[in-house]
Amino acid sequence: MRNGRTLRLGVVAAVAVLAATGCGGGGDDNGGGNGTKPGTSAPGNAPGVALPSLKGEKIEVAAVWTGPEQANFTKVLKEFEKRTGATVTFVPAQDPIVNFLGTKIAGGSPPDVAMLPQVGAIQQAAAQKWLKPLGPEAKAQLEKNYSKGWQDLGAVDGTSYGVYFKAANKSLVWYNATAFDNAGASEPKTWKDFLATAETISASGVTPVSVGGADGWTLTDWFENVYLSQAGPEKYDRLAGHTLKWTDPSVAQALTTLAELFGKPALIAGGTNGALQTEFPVSVTQTFTGGDQPKAAMVFEGDFSAVNIAETGAKIGTDAKVFPFPAVGDGAAPVVTGGDAAVALKDSKGAQALLTFLASPDAARIWAAEGGFLSPNKALDPAAYPNEVQRKIATSLIGAGDGFRFDMSDQMPQSFGGTPGKGEWKALQDFLKNPKDVAGTQARLEAEAAKAYKD
């Protein structure tokens, strides 16, 4: 968990060939099937997870997902309804979701299940005694289908609470193939090469990098990839657990490295002010619209960017390609992940049945077919993904086993690592605005972290 995980850094060779892959076929069906009776397993001939009949039972599921993510998750819930007879309602939650759930619980109306996007949120909710442990059926699916690293991320003090349904590979840079071709640019493998590539693209008349700085979490991802590659996994774990202070020289080195990009507004779409007003979805879509003159040629973020790319009409693997986040200094290329875990807030048959379903490949298969989704479920057939690029990303994640690092900010207290306008999010937005202030940024980060961990 946050203060004591010893997962080793793994660099997956499969990631290195992502950009060379093209679009594939349609993959498996989505597991929906018509006419499935409550209390049965998966439709068709494939053996599925056994689920109870829940006819007449109402279940509420809270998540911060909106737009395409909400729509695709609703398809998963619809299949659960078909298989059990239950009625499932999606409850839109505000971020930070722990605060939202606290209000619901105080009012006596918690949802049955919630999707928590931070390890720290699971720990906070467990400490408040809001969570119910996984039942035997859900735990059996978890142990069968997930590596120990993912099981441990959903546990607190040895008790399993969470099922990581949706994961993310957050060490990817997506790029506009036309912009690269027109500039004569090639995929960089190191940070030095990345900066040189940015200058080459800039010289061609296209701004090289899109940054969604209005969403502070994107900036934490920039920092984490640079820090993991440059400082190494041991210091990464120590900084995540705050046994290493943010005033450490390794943090100064990572911020100084980031400033090599952030300190050159001409390399960033809209400049510094523009980046601070650009939300994540726009940072992606503006990279793949505009024909020969997109607002940017590259955008860094996870595999989930595919959902936003699809909205532009760009074809992944042809128009939109991807390469691994470049290695910094003498370090290895980073492998940073994120994820959303399903937890039960009510000790009900319906809540446990839904966790069992979400821990099975049956549920993951549905969203995988829609794209913009990555599952840590090792029992999911990669053919479920809609194109070869996403299959490679998924295969690399599963191939890493326990050799990955979870998003650092998601391991921290939410008040520091997961709250808009506060803590790390705000400090890094201020740093983007003034990347020369390395020491001041460190001091603010340490002060905010010390306060959050004390609380």
Q: Is residue 5 part of a domain?
A: no
325 and 350 belong to one structural domain: no
Q: Is residue 237 part of a domain?
A: yes
Q: Where are the beta strands (DSSP E) in 66-211?
A: 87-92, 113-116, 155-156, 159-160, 163-169, 172-176, 209-210
pLDDT (0 to 100) of residue 46? 52
152 and 187 belong to one structural domain: no
216 and 243 belong to one structural domain: yes
CATH number of residue 195's parent domain: 3.40.190.10
245 and 287 belong to one structural domain: yes
Residue-range definition of the domain harbouring residue 397: 50-161+337-403
**CA 103 – CA 319 distance, rounded (Å):** 45
204 and 268 belong to one structural domain: yes
Cα 258 versus chain centre, distance: 21
What DSSP element (H or E) covers 323? Answer: strand 320-324
Give me the tens of pLDDT residue by residue for the chain, a chain 455 residues long: 332 322 223 333 333 334 333 333 333 333 333 344 566 555 444 559 999 999 999 999 999 999 989 999 999 999 999 999 999 999 999 888 999 999 999 999 999 999 998 888 999 999 999 999 999 999 999 999 999 989 999 999 999 999 999 999 999 999 999 999 999 999 999 999 999 999 999 999 999 999 999 999 999 999 999 999 999 989 999 999 999 999 999 999 999 999 999 999 999 999 999 999 999 999 999 999 999 999 999 999 998 898 899 999 999 999 999 998 999 988 888 889 999 999 999 999 999 999 999 999 999 999 999 988 999 999 999 999 998 888 988 887 888 777 688 999 988 888 999 899 999 999 999 999 999 999 999 999 999 999 999 86
pLDDT (0 to 100) of residue 257? 98
101 and 215 belong to one structural domain: no
309 and 440 belong to one structural domain: yes
Q: Is residue 67 part of a domain?
A: yes
**CA 414 – CA 119 distance, rounded (Å):** 9
329 and 343 belong to one structural domain: no
Compute and round to an integer the Cα radius of gyration of the chain: 21
Two tokens at 365?
Answer: 């298969």
324 and 421 belong to one structural domain: yes
Inter-helix orientation angle 438-454/249-262, to 10°: 130
Give the angle 176-410-439 at the CA atoms, nearest 5°: 85
**389, 169 in Cβ contact below 8 A?**
no
Task: Write down which residue in 365, 383, 403 finishes a domain.
Answer: 403
240 and 382 belong to one structural domain: no
**229, 329 in Cβ contact below 8 A?**
yes
Which residues have C-beta within 8 Å of that of residue 334, sequence separation ≥ 6? 9, 11, 171, 224, 225, 226, 228, 229, 325, 327, 328, 405
Q: Is residue 448 part of a domain?
A: yes
Tell me phi and psi for residue 290, to 5 degrees. 100, 10
Of 21, 28, 4, 18, which Cα lies nearest the Cα of 382?
A: 28
| Number of domains within the chain | 2
How is residue 243 annotated by DSSP?
A: S
240 and 316 belong to one structural domain: yes
**334, 225 in Cβ contact below 8 A?**
yes
Q: How many CA atoms lie within 13 A of 360 on its CB side?
A: 23
pTM comes to 0.75
pLDDT (0 to 100) of residue 281? 97
Task: Write down which residue in 403, 429, 446 finishes a domain.
Answer: 403
Q: Is residue 132 part of a domain?
A: yes
154 and 300 belong to one structural domain: no
210: which strand partners? 299
Q: How many CA atoms lie within 13 A of 174 on its CB side?
A: 32
